[in-house]
Structure 1
Amino acid sequence: MTIELDVARVCFAADLAGHGDRPAVLTAGGTLTYRELADRVDDLAARLGPVRRLVVLEAGNDIDSLVAYLAALSAGHPLILVPADKPAALESVLAAYDPDVVLRPGGGEPVLQERREGTRHELHPELALMLSTSGSTGSPKLVRLSQENLQSNAEAIAAYLDIRPGDRAATTLPMSYCYGLSVINSHLLRGAALVLTDLSVVDPCFWELFRHQRATTFAAVPYTFELLERVGFADMDLPGLRYLTQAGGRLDPDTARRYRELGERRGWDLFVMYGQTEATARMAYLPPRLAAKNPGTIGIPVPGGAFRIDPVPGLPDGELVYSGPNVMLGYAERPEDLALGRVVDELRTGDLARLRPSGMYEVVGRLSRFVKIVGLRIDLGQVEKILAGLGVTAAAAGSDRTLVVAVEGDHDRGLLGKVLAQRLGLPRAAVEVHAVVNIPRLANGKVDYPAVLTLATPEPEPTPEQVPEQMLAGPPENVRTIFAEALEVDEVREADTFVSLGGDSLSYVAASVRLERALGYLPADWHVTPVGELAPRARPSVSRRARRFAPLETGVVLRALGIVAIIGTHAQLFHWPGMAHVLFAVAGFNFARFQLGGDRLPRLKRQARSLGRIIVPSVAFIAVAFLLTDRYGPENIVLLNSFVGPETWSTRWDFWFVEMLVYVLVSVAALLAVPRVARAERRFPFAFPLVLAGVGLLTRFEILVLPAPNPAPVLWLFALGWAAARAPALPRPAPADGVRRSTRSAFVPRLRSLAPRLTVSAFAALTVPGFFGEPSRDATILAGILLLTWLPALPVPAGFHRLLGVLAASSLYAYLTHWLVYPGLAPLSPALAVAASLAAGVAYWALSLRLMAMASRRITRIRTRRATPSA
């Protein structure tokens, strides 16, 4: 079957060249003008051919995907969008619809796979785009959208947001999600620019790109605001930000109020919006000027749209019905449906709503969120509100026999189940309450209610011992298992990251080693990469040599070598001085990765917890050593020997490293607790630790003489490690986004990205030599800092990964225990003394982790019982 292209085009995709040399796409690597974008779109449209065909695009937030999307629209080829990171979605579409062409990102030019010449489908002339309904990426049910749907909704959004040619929108949501796509459409319509990225808002690199490209807006779903709280958005300096949009679910009114007030202080607006895929994207918006008097509402219809409320028998509120030019043509569930024209003229949203006297519409519930259990009609939204009133974050689902509730945190599930049964009039046996670390969510941030329902009949997951090692690189659950066990959490969702789950330098070693073994590689930014983005990647094919040598994080290697060098030198097995000072740089590197970001109080709590994990095992061991030997005094137990201990070197100084590390961490935490200092660190994340290193060096060169003890002699090494962590990722040798640019435009960004690392290297090279007057010690310190600065990972024999991981994770504990182990064994065998010291450290590490985990769970249970009201 051949159908010549004689259908209408989508104007914002077909008229790109009309915006001339205005910037269209901004990335970390370069700029693409509208004229250049139009040329690339035209080239691909020509490759798609003159016959109208069914196209499927594996879309990511990259230039290739954008070009492919616009080429299909401009040439009139009906397009199905699926997320590039969900292989199951593509497989489902291929099986259900048998498309003629598959498009994929290709690292500079879209890859076009023709499955046949011409087409085997009958395609309606108005059909332009098909999207999955929210969350159903594995379902063949698609929303059929027309050219008019896309164009009219882009025009409506551009009108009420007042999008201007000078605006620059950061792509914080997937292109395959209708909300994320609407941002692209509406900005291209007005000749505005897209700051194209797939970085998460929890990644510091996202905000660096946001500032560098002078972005003016970004889109958020309710879950995004939780992430913004973690990264300290309220204190960020974003001078270009003009407005923030929110959709994808109901935003808590208190959160909306706080962010609206923050915007008023900072000079930007918050637009709360309402929409569905079936309406292309947007149906309503709440004008910022009316938000204060109408909290919790969805506002008014978008330009060209209208609402009405139809009564629902037995309920006080009715169903919200929308009409407008952006209402879909209808659904598709099989190839034959692609020939259909419009089968619906209005959209029954399925939402229960009311019209306020102010003229604002308010959504109060969902028709599908009602279930009948033992003859009683249960509002699942009301269940969540009851628990919210008790201070419990929850998600409720249900069947015709059971109410299933997932609650975040460690609560008394029996008590909560009893409260719900009494409030709702249900038998206690019909209510199941399950504790989860985080409410399960879909990739778009919405609650995954089917996942909540599956909690009613959970299947036991295999233990790591039952899973073959070659399977560890497979399904996402294996990566979740690694994070859950390393961080001692019960559940890990796709949007979680190691940092957002509370990871720190003491837990990342075990996680990084297991993750590298599971995936076959270890991304430099794995600790801030969502689990859902780590899990699907396949193990890359490698040579036999590469299988023998695999990369291991430089920080892990240095911690493992450091503790071996320290103990080996003390036991006189060999002489390798300087590694203790290298570990101070490693500590600063890890501090920057795990202890910064978020609001001031949560950050202080996180830093206090991390300090506790150092102080508690140290004080406990030193107290035992004090009781068993005469080597130490009471001042050692409280880590104050540097203040009140003997001035001459003796066994009382054995734990100087721990004391100085604690002093540095306390000093830095106290410094960052000052709001003005915290703001300075966020605004100048790289310069701040360099200034701190400079302050530390004032005592090194005796420009400033401070009374002893003080942490300045090691503070500058800690700050250099901190600065190394803040340096941007090393540039790739060639651009992967396919943007054409001049040699100079390509060289300058690379030089800028190298400059911070060159600065750290020069700083170290100028200050380390001569510090101790011992060349071998100085060389070790300098080499350690340079490795940490330039090499994110080192090639290590694969068989040594687990051993090095254990040594690195237990390094603090081995440092503590070796003082009591090696002295008695070194005269007999230095090698035996080192091995026994390391073994003792591993044993104490394992015991401490178990005891601290038990204590933490006990404290949490006590606090929860006190905070939960009695029924």
Structure 2
Amino acid sequence: MISLLGPGARLVDAASGDVLAGEELADRVAAAAERAATWPGVLFAHFPATVDAIVGYLGALQAGRPICLLDPDLHTDLRDRLVARFEPGAITNGKGDLPRGYHADGAVWLRDEPSAVTPHTDLALLLTTSGSTGDPKLVRLTPTAVQANAHAIAEALGIDGGEVAITSLPLFYSYGMSVLNSHLLSGATVVVSPRTFLEREFWNDVNAYGVTSLAAVPYQYEMLKRLRFDPAKYATLRTLTQAGGRLKGELIVDFHGRMSAVGGRMFVMYGQTEAGPRMTTLPSAYLPGKVGSVGPALPGTTLSIRVDDGSETTDPDVEGEVIFRGPNVMLGYATAAADFATGDELGGRLSTEDLGKLDADGHLWITGRLKRMGKIFGIRVNLDDVERLLVDTPPVAAIPGDDRLTVFVESDEEQWPAKIKARLAEALGIHSSGFEVRSITALPLLANGKVDYRKLAEEGNA
């Protein structure tokens, strides 16, 4: 069981202006907890940006009912595959036809025959991995992991009861969820809005409700630049946070400068869903001097680097796999319903599969990804390195092929394929025939804003 409601926590419905706080909020969550306690097994919850959905989520956690957060617009085929694999006892906020083996009980879909699996007593929250395939694994998190990460984020960012966040990210995405958790636990306010940066009403809500902080992923910062974002237009907005992938250094400098000009701050963060989800925060005070770093480990956690012989070190400038330790590390993955009964498999130690190094201040610098590799004429090539070589071109994404690489470039200008092919051949010392460069109108993105490499691989093999 877990309560994420700190004293003074408030939810504001941007569409109606209604405020849910104090005893009324606590009572609504308690009622949701009573309902969730009557449902068997694990709860699958489609999680739109609505007050009702948030209350249901808080209630499930309070009742000790393990809850899995899903995209509210999840395609029915994928939903049904997940349901068949994981056998949830109940499904909320579902759309369309019921999955096979379920019946409607009011707004909730209940399983006809209860699953034979009893969830482990330490299981509280399930999140999908970012989904490089059509059948994502689930990350298993404990109540301690959820609370510890929310507390650590609040401490690192200085979140208190006076802060006002807005739902600028999907709530089923771990970064969006962590913004919600850290603010409510700190007794702060969350403005619940289904709108996006592209809608004038979103920015009207920022001013109308006195929003103080805004969270965004890299593609949203690209969008903000195109929108000519000016923080001076929003009197209360004084904090930007960024996670969800590498943001170009020039954009970090740009937005740090915009915020500094109005007495504000920008924080760069690094995390993985497997760590519930955030692991580091680079304080605004270190910008622009440490552009490219993601900062030190969150309070109560540690970082080390695993080198080729399997040992770990915190010595500066030694490159290897980033190892994270903390109370927010997952129990392990679930690939089927039987895994819900499994306890802790990791002991608080997460092998991130990211390559990186620590500097003399203990700040982390991510340098690549262990498994983002391809081969060209038998030569192993880091795909992240390939994309970094093209940082000054239109957005690109590289995928492996049969002894070659395919690079997609987001541009309809005829010059780019030839330029990119020539640059890669020269920089990597590999004949240009090892690269195929294709123009694409827009790189496909996952719900969390990261490139959908699976879709690109399908196009590359088409």
Same fold (TM over 0.5): yes
Letter in 2 for 1:99: P
In structure 1, what is the equivalent of residue 361 of structure 2? 358
Which of 116, 122, 143 pairs up with 2:118? 122
Q: Deviations over 1:136-169 (max 9, x none)?
A: 5842411111111101001101111111112111
In structure 1, what is the equivalent of residue 251 of structure 2? 255
CA distance in 2: counterparts of 1:142 and 1:290, whole angstroms: 35
Return the offset for 1:286.
0.2
Q: Deviations over 1:502-539 (max 9, x none)?
A: xxxxxxxxxxxxxxxxxxxxxxxxxxxxxxxxxxxxxx
Do structure 1's residue 161 and structure 2's residue 124 form an aligned pair?
Answer: no
CA distance in 2: counterparts of 1:111 and 1:34, whole angstroms: 26
Conserved? CA contact 2:238–2:262, under 8 Å:
no
CA distance in 2: counterparts of 1:320 and 1:26, whole angstroms: 40
The within-5 A match list for 1:574-589 is none
Closer, same or farther: CA 285–231 of 1 in aligned 2, 3 Å: same
Conserved? CA contact 1:64–1:105, under 8 Å:
no
Letter in 2 for 1:397: I
CA distance in 1: counterparts of 2:235 and 2:122, whole angstroms: 42
Return the offset for 1:85.
1.0
The within-5 A match list for 1:537-552 is none
Letter in 2 for 1:351: D
Closer, same or farther: CA 182–364 of 1 in aligned 2, 3 Å: same
In structure 2, what is the equivalent of residue 284 of structure 1? 280
Question: What is the DSSP-based 3-state SS (H/G/I as helix, E as strand, rest coil) of the residue aligned with 1:126?
Answer: coil
CA distance in 2: counterparts of 1:165 and 1:261, whole angstroms: 27
Question: What is the DSSP-based 3-state SS (H/G/I as helix, E as strand, rest coil) of the residue aligned with 1:362?
Answer: strand
Conserved? CA contact 2:374–2:380, under 8 Å:
yes
In structure 2, what is the equivalent of residue 675 of structure 1? none
CA distance in 2: counterparts of 1:392 and 1:263, whole angstroms: 25
Return the offset for 1:42.
1.7
In structure 2, what is the equivalent of residue 100 of structure 1? 89
Question: What is the DSSP-based 3-state SS (H/G/I as helix, E as strand, rest coil) of the residue aligned with 1:19?
Answer: coil
The within-5 A match list for 1:434-449 is 434-449=438-453
Unaligned runs of 5+ in 1: 1-8, 459-871
Closer, same or farther: CA 415–253 of 1 in aligned 2, 3 Å: closer
Conserved? CA contact 1:96–1:140, under 8 Å:
no
CA distance in 2: counterparts of 1:155 and 1:453, whole angstroms: 39
In structure 2, what is the equivalent of residue 336 of structure 1? 338
In structure 2, what is the equivalent of residue 381 of structure 1? 384
Letter in 2 for 1:317: E
Do structure 1's residue 452 and structure 2's residue 456 form an aligned pair?
Answer: yes
Greater helix share, structure number: 1
CA distance in 1: counterparts of 2:23 and 2:124, whole angstroms: 23
Unaligned runs of 5+ in 2: 96-105, 310-316
Which of 10, 23, 26 pairs up with 1:35? 23
Conserved? CA contact 1:51–1:118, under 8 Å:
no
Do structure 1's residue 404 and structure 2's residue 406 form an aligned pair?
Answer: yes
Letter in 2 for 1:86: L
In structure 1, what is the equivalent of residue 139 of structure 2? 143
CA distance in 2: counterparts of 1:117 and 1:437, whole angstroms: 47
Return the offset for 1:438.
2.4
CA distance in 1: counterparts of 2:88 and 2:195, whole angstroms: 30
The within-5 A match list for 1:188-227 is 188-227=184-223
CA distance in 2: counterparts of 1:386 and 1:69, whole angstroms: 42
Return the offset for 1:130.
0.7
Give the number of the structure with larger relative contact order, counting CA–CA contacts within 8 Å between residues 6 or more apart: 2
Question: What is the DSSP-based 3-state SS (H/G/I as helix, E as strand, rest coil) of the residue aligned with 1:266?
Answer: coil
In structure 2, what is the equivalent of residue 787 of structure 1? none
Which of 294, 297, 301 pairs up with 1:301? 297
Letter in 2 for 1:223: Y
CA distance in 1: counterparts of 2:427 and 2:302, whole angstroms: 38
Which of 16, 25, 28 pairs up with 2:12? 25
Question: What is the DSSP-based 3-state SS (H/G/I as helix, E as strand, rest coil) of the residue aligned with 1:130?
Answer: strand
Q: Deviations over 1:700-729 (max 9, x none)?
A: xxxxxxxxxxxxxxxxxxxxxxxxxxxxxx
Closer, same or farther: CA 364–430 of 1 in aligned 2, 3 Å: same
Q: Deviations over 1:18-58 (max 9, x none)?
A: 736x6333422011113222222222222234565211001
Closer, same or farther: CA 429–292 of 1 in aligned 2, 3 Å: closer
In structure 2, what is the equivalent of residue 76 of structure 1? 64
Do structure 1's residue 317 and structure 2's residue 319 form an aligned pair?
Answer: yes
Closer, same or farther: CA 103–393 of 1 in aligned 2, 3 Å: closer
Return the offset for 1:449.
2.1
Question: What is the DSSP-based 3-state SS (H/G/I as helix, E as strand, rest coil) of the residue aligned with 2:11?
Answer: strand
CA distance in 1: counterparts of 2:443 and 2:308, whole angstroms: 30
CA distance in 2: counterparts of 1:71 and 1:235, whole angstroms: 36
Do structure 1's residue 267 and structure 2's residue 259 form an aligned pair?
Answer: no
Aligned residues: 441
Question: What is the DSSP-based 3-state SS (H/G/I as helix, E as strand, rest coil) of the residue aligned with 1:300?
Answer: coil
Do structure 1's residue 417 and structure 2's residue 421 form an aligned pair?
Answer: yes
Question: What is the DSSP-based 3-state SS (H/G/I as helix, E as strand, rest coil) of the residue aligned with 1:301?
Answer: coil
Conserved? CA contact 2:139–2:274, under 8 Å:
yes
Return the offset for 1:235.
6.0
Give the root-mean-square deviation of aligned CA atoms. 2.3
Do structure 1's residue 87 and structure 2's residue 83 form an aligned pair?
Answer: no
Return the offset for 1:233.
1.2
CA distance in 2: counterparts of 1:282 and 1:97, whole angstroms: 26
CA distance in 1: counterparts of 2:387 and 2:439, whole angstroms: 14
Return the offset for 1:249.
0.5
Greater strand share, structure number: 2
Question: What is the DSSP-based 3-state SS (H/G/I as helix, E as strand, rest coil) of the residue aligned with 1:127?
Answer: coil
Conserved? CA contact 2:3–2:61, under 8 Å:
no
Q: Deviations over 1:228-267 (max 9, x none)?
A: 1232212651111131111000111111111111111112
CA distance in 2: counterparts of 1:103 and 1:386, whole angstroms: 45
Which of 53, 62, 67 pairs up with 2:50? 62
Q: Deviations over 1:671-728 (max 9, x none)?
A: xxxxxxxxxxxxxxxxxxxxxxxxxxxxxxxxxxxxxxxxxxxxxxxxxxxxxxxxxx
Do structure 1's residue 10 and structure 2's residue 2 form an aligned pair?
Answer: yes
Return the offset for 1:373.
2.5
Q: Which has the larger radius of gyration?
A: 1
In structure 1, what is the equivalent of residue 171 of structure 2? 175
Conserved? CA contact 2:374–2:404, under 8 Å:
no
Closer, same or farther: CA 347–92 of 1 in aligned 2, 3 Å: same
Letter in 1 for 2:15: A
In structure 1, what is the equivalent of residue 314 of structure 2? none
Closer, same or farther: CA 358–400 of 1 in aligned 2, 3 Å: farther
Conserved? CA contact 2:39–2:90, under 8 Å:
no
CA distance in 2: counterparts of 1:324 and 1:251, whole angstroms: 25
Conserved? CA contact 1:52–1:118, under 8 Å:
yes
Which of 123, 130, 133 pairs up with 2:129? 133
CA distance in 1: counterparts of 2:341 and 2:94, whole angstroms: 28
Letter in 1 for 2:125: L
Question: What is the DSSP-based 3-state SS (H/G/I as helix, E as strand, rest coil) of the residue aligned with 2:125?
Answer: strand
In structure 2, what is the equivalent of residue 482 of structure 1? none
